[in-house]
Amino acid sequence: MSNLVAYPVLLCFGTGILQLLLHKRVVLQRALALLSSMAGIVLSVLLTYTIWTSGIQVQTAGGWPVPFGITLTADLFSGLMMILAAVVLFTSVLYIFKDMDAASERTFFYPVLFFMMAGVNLSFATGDIFNLYVAFEVMLISSYFLMALGSKGPQLREGLKYLLLNTVASSIFLVAVALLYGVTSSLNMADIAAKAAMDPGNPYITLAGMLFMVVFAAKGALFPFYWWLPRSYYYVPNGIAPLFASMLTKVGVYGLIRVFTLIFVHDSGLTHSLLLVIGGLTMLLGVIGAISQYDFKAILSYHIISQIGYMIMGLGLYTVLGLAGAVYYIAHHIIVKSGLFLLSGATSRITGNTDFKHYSGLLASHPGLAFTFFATAISLAGVPPFSGFFAKFALLKAAVEKGAWGIAAVSLVVSFFTLFSMIKIFRKAYWGRPSGQRIQRDRKDYIAALSPAVILLALSVAMGLGGGYMMEFALATADQLMNPAIYIEAVMGR
């Protein structure tokens, strides 16, 4: 029994409630947000360290015996995701202080932000399939609010489409849960996995697996359900765009990896080959979308899709090295992608716009911004010594070892186009004749807006230089994921 699993969730939830009570005192809300996001990093690191030293942490809510009550279960993968969520929240909060408009800050922005993070953390912590649905909904309903915050026309329009898509996807989620419950009469993921292992050929379980694939593909923006992402993320306010871009779709990816390494592992010839194809198409179509765009934020939005393809590639390969590569890639992507979105925000603070038509040549006046972007961008493309190189290297090695030459080739081509479109941003926005720098801001303001992105870049460099340690951690995580018996034993054998 360890209550540590619940603390990151409770921290975010408690902060949200306190901020709700203080909704007229913006300064106090800001202080709470900063303190809570720092405490979140400490708690999630502590949790992951505990999992590293003494195994998977399980908490049963209300002390009910295991298959009946709700269990919270955190393995290394959950712990890592919670750390990443806390780090991105912390840097986003730093940037939000600079960038959020005052009217939004007064209209319940901070409480809803923390409720969303409570949902995100709960979906990483939960060991119960229905509780996962609830966590998703807590996260989603907060994200609808944040997406529409400010009530500009396009935000409402794209927010409505995002909401409708997710409502339908959530209904399919419930259908899949109902099917699983009907077959196994259990909601506990470890219990379901144990029962599925006793009856490996059951067609209803495979059907539920396929439904889960559709659900998480829709929420994680995978082929063929990725079309909603570029439009809706484009209109998310700059301050929260990093959180949306790096965390929300990754919760879908987390769900996919969780259920397809724990429950639906008995028909991997069908399901995991399908995932491999989906991963390849996702990365290819995402990057093709990206190279067709001429807007900073739009290119980045399309790149989210193509990079989710890499993570699914690791899951589809379904080897220890492949999953380790996927875990490494998720960590790398969350850090670097939030950094890039923060930089796009910092750039549009100078130019008032993200469209390349309206500005160029920021290198002359803002060299710090330009070079931070350059370093983060080549990290995304996978140039050593940044974190992207090692993540892609592990994935590629796993693909070659498995003899999956098709996906290996696709991932290399996509990597090249990623570099191409990152260079395009650099060339259009930072090179050339200086123009379009409409908004004059003082130096202090500029540094404050840039520093969160510099923190994330430093983390990416650290994850690259400490690649050995990071890979060791990723391999241990993948080892746990590949052996569902460890997870089942930790939950059921109590």
Partner 1 sequence: MELLAALLIGLLLGVGTYLLLERNMIRIVLGTMLITYGTNLMLLTSGRLKTGRAPLLGGSDIQTAAEGGGGIVVDGISYVDPVPQALILTAIVIGLATTAFSFVLAYRTVQEYGTDDLLELRGVEHE
Residue ranges that bind partner 1, judged by CB under 8 A: 130, 134, 137, 141, 144-145, 148, 151, 153-154, 156-160, 163-164, 167-168, 170-172, 174-175, 177-179, 181-182, 185, 187, 231, 234, 295, 298, 355
Please report how close the Cβ of residue 128 comes to partner 1 at its closest, in angstroms.
Answer: 11
Distance in angstroms (rounded) separating the CA atoms of residues 88 and 321: 26
In order, the DSSP letters of 295-317 are BHHHHHHHHHHHHHHHHHHHHHH
Burial 453-463 (b: 16+ CB within 10 A, else e): bbbbbebbbeb
Specify whether the CB–CB gap between 326 and 311 falls below 8 A: yes
Lookup result for tokens 């939960």: 126
Distance in angstroms (rounded) separating the CA atoms of residues 127 and 254: 13
Specify whether the CB–CB gap between 66 and 492 falls below 8 A: yes
**H-assigned helices in 100-128:** 102-106, 109-125
Name the residue type at position 358.
H
Which two tokens mark 486?
Answer: 């460890």
Please report how close the Cβ of residue 161 comes to partner 1 at its closest, in angstroms.
Answer: 8
Please report how close the Cβ of residue 165 comes to partner 1 at its closest, in angstroms.
Answer: 10
Please report how close the Cβ of residue 20 comes to partner 1 at its closest, in angstroms.
Answer: 16
Strand pairing class (57-60; 71-74): antiparallel
Minimum CB distance to partner 1 smaller for 61 or for 164: 164
Minimum CB distance to partner 1 smaller for 234 or for 473: 234
Please report how close the Cβ of residue 158 comes to partner 1 at its closest, in angstroms.
Answer: 7
Which two tokens mark 120?
Answer: 């995100």
Please report how close the Cβ of residue 310 comes to partner 1 at its closest, in angstroms.
Answer: 26
Distance in angstroms (rounded) separating the CA atoms of residues 202 and 483: 21
Please report how close the Cβ of residue 429 comes to partner 1 at its closest, in angstroms.
Answer: 15
105 burial (CB, 10 Å; 0-12 / 13-18 / 19+) is middle
Minimum CB distance to partner 1 smaller for 55 or for 69: 69
Minimum CB distance to partner 1 smaller for 135 or for 313: 135
Please report how close the Cβ of residue 356 comes to partner 1 at its closest, in angstroms.
Answer: 11
Minimum CB distance to partner 1 smaller for 114 or for 390: 114
How far apart, in Å, are the Cα atoms of 141 and each of 3, 25, 147, 345?
Answer: 27, 24, 10, 24
Minimum CB distance to partner 1 smaller for 234 or for 328: 234
Minimum CB distance to partner 1 smaller for 3 or for 171: 171
Name the residue type at position 480.
Q
Which two tokens mark 81?
Answer: 């995701």
Specify whether the CB–CB gap between 143 and 240 falls below 8 A: no
Minimum CB distance to partner 1 smaller for 87 or for 125: 125
Minimum CB distance to partner 1 smaller for 299 or for 449: 299
Specify whether the CB–CB gap between 128 and 189 falls below 8 A: yes
Minimum CB distance to partner 1 smaller for 34 or for 172: 172
CA 54, 248, 315, 418 torsion: positive or negative?
Answer: negative
Q: Is 441 helix (H, G, I), strand (E, B) or coil?
A: coil
Please report how close the Cβ of residue 8 comes to partner 1 at its closest, in angstroms.
Answer: 22
Distance in angstroms (rounded) separating the CA atoms of residues 443 and 167: 45
Name the residue type at position 178.
A
Please report how close the Cβ of residue 163 comes to partner 1 at its closest, in angstroms.
Answer: 5
Beta bridge mates, 58 = 73
Please report how close the Cβ of residue 307 comes to partner 1 at its closest, in angstroms.
Answer: 21
Minimum CB distance to partner 1 smaller for 184 or for 415: 184
